[in-house]
Amino acid sequence: MPGPFDELEKEAERLEKQSKEEFAKRNFVAAISFLEEAQELYEKLGFQGKIRMINQRIAQVKNLVKYETKDSDVITKGETEFQKRMDKALKEKEAFSEKKLSEQKVVPPEMKKKLEQVVMMLEKAEKEEKLGKYSRVKGRYEHILEIYKAIPKDLINFSNEIYEIEKKLTTLSSKE
């Protein structure tokens, strides 16, 4: 004939089973709560082995909760930082693309040819400067300067390039 202790033991086992079900559903708070209730019943029964086992399970579930919370915080912070960097890079890329597109639309074909000529002349000037042919380099830079100044500022503003070339010409004059 079952006694009152048998009923307490069955109730404690039922609570352990419910704890496992809640754990499987990832409802960790409820799982811990059921384990604590089962632990109280085992304490009344004096089952020290079961009490230690339940204490270990509670500690494991609590550690899992801490780990998952910490892990999700780290992921969230990392994802946020990454998303900010990506947004900034995409905005910069978009702005650069728009600028390039607007420059390409506005520049007439004959102006493009002159700008391509400027690029080639700059490359040649740099090579000749390394070889010490300063008079030819100076002539090239002066021609580039004329091309830049002939382009209307409202079409393309070459003020910075003009300034750099004038600075180069000053440097070259001192080398001759």
Task: Quick: pLDDT tens for 9-55.
Answer: 889 899 999 999 988 998 888 888 998 999 998 888 888 888 899 99
Non-local CB neighbours of 32 within 8 Å, separated by 6+ positions:
19, 58, 61, 62
Same domain, 134 and 71: no
Indicate whether 6 pLDDT > 70: yes
Instruction: Output the CA torsion 99→105→107→112 (10° steps).
Output: 90
99 and 36 both lie in a single domain: yes
The verdict on 1 and 49 lying in the same domain is yes
- pLDDT(103) > 70: no
Q: Give the model's confidence band at 78: pLDDT under 50 very low, under 70 low, under 90 confident, else very high.
A: low
Higher pLDDT, 14 or 154: 14
User: Residue 105's pLDDT is what?
Assistant: 53
Of 109, 102, 75, the C-alpha closest to 157 is 102
Looking at the structure, do residues 99 and 126 belong to the same domain, yes or no?
A: no
The parent domain of residue 124 ranges over 107-175
Domain total in the chain: 2
The confidence band for 173, taking pLDDT boundaries of 50, 70 and 90, is confident
| Lowest mean pLDDT, pick from 59-63, 76-80, 91-95, 140-144 | 76-80
Indicate if the pLDDT at residue 176 is higher than 50.
yes
51 and 26 together in one domain: yes
Q: What is the share, in percent, of the chain residues with pLDDT greater than 70?
A: 87
- Residues 145, 159, single domain; the answer is yes
Please tell me whether residues 73 and 133 are part of one structural domain: no
Global pTM?
0.41
Residues 77 and 159 grouped into a single domain: no
Confidence of residue 1 (pLDDT cuts 50, 70, 90): very low
Can you give the pLDDT at residue 18?
A: 93
Flag whether pLDDT at 157 surpasses 90.
Answer: no
100 in the same domain as 57: yes
The type of residue at 77 is K
